[in-house]
């Protein structure tokens, strides 16, 4: 059973698009159902900088950096809410292989750069995973409001206050782990997304409407062990 993990998530963009739940259902494992807010399902692209990634219990200096980009949605398993990842791109072959083998998460190796310039985050990603569909993502984003607590906004809370993820292993078994952190402090964000091939790579038509954007400076995170669900 894989060890629980500790890490720090920094400079996150939550780019969120609403989607008809009926379009989302065929892409999910049978054991999961779409979670909705006011009748709408959501797909989110989340780039961020992952720091101090290590087995839980080790000091931060023992960790490594892992820039990351994921496409996710929001699901229920027997009434329990969580996140389901369609793909996670990250830079670092060791971390990617470890997450695939030990945590059964759909990670892909990528070349990434993350730079902060005068409060703006420039994020670039190009998937280089052998045999995988090519994916590029290029965006610049920045906060444009004062911070606010996500728990005070029903939709923001639905999108970011998720404390469990679900995944499917190679045998088709759904697995889960808890995600532990303080509630999110968010800011409204502005973003220029120049290239985003995540949707097509995961079987979705790229959205044509404008996303709902949030920025978060970061939180320290721990996870539980990844366990098979009965």
Q: Which residue has the tokens 């290590």?
A: 54
Where are the strands (E) in 56-173, listed by range?
64-77, 80-90, 107-117, 120-127, 136-143, 148-149, 164-168
Whole-angstrom Cα distance, residue 194 to residue 174?
34
Whole-angstrom Cα distance, residue 147 to residue 153?
12
Whole-angstrom Cα distance, residue 35 to residue 37?
7
The pTM assigned to this predicted structure is: 0.93
pLDDT, one tens digit per residue, over 6-22 is 999 999 999 999 999 99
Domain boundaries, the chain: 5-228
Whole-angstrom Cα distance, residue 132 to residue 137?
15
pLDDT, one tens digit per residue, over 25-66 is 999 999 999 999 999 999 999 999 988 878 788 888 877 788
The CATH superfamily holding the domain 5-228 is Acetoacetate decarboxylase-like (2.40.400.10)
């Amino acid at each position: 059973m894989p060890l629980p993990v500790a890490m720090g998530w920094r400079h996150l963009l939550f780019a969120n698009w609403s989607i008809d739940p009926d379009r989302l259902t065929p892409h999910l494992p049978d054991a999961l159902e779409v979670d909705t807010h006011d009748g709408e399902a959501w797909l989110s692209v989340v780039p961020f900088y992952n720091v101090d990634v290590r087995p839980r219990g080790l000091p931060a200096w023992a960790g490594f950096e892992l820039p990351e980009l994921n496409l996710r949605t929001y699901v229920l398993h027997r009434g329990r809410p969580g996140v389901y990842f369609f793909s996670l791109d990250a830079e670092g072959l060791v971390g990617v292989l470890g997450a695939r083998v030990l945590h059964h998460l759909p990670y892909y190796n990528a070349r990434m750069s993350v730079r902060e310039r005068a409060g703006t985050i420039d994020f670039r990603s190009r998937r280089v995973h052998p045999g995988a569909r090519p994916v590029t993502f290029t965006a610049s984003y920045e906060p444009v409001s004062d911070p606010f607590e996500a728990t005070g906004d029903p939709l923001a809370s639905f999108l970011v206050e998720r404390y469990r993820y679900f995944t499917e292993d190679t045998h088709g078994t759904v697995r889960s782990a808890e995600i532990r952190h303080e509630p999110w402090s968010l800011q409204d964000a502005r973003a220029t997304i120049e290239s985003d091939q995540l949707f097509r790579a995961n079987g979705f038509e790229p959205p044509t409407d404008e996303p709902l954007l949030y920025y978060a400076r970061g939180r320290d995170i721990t996870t539980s062990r990844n366990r098979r669900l009965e």
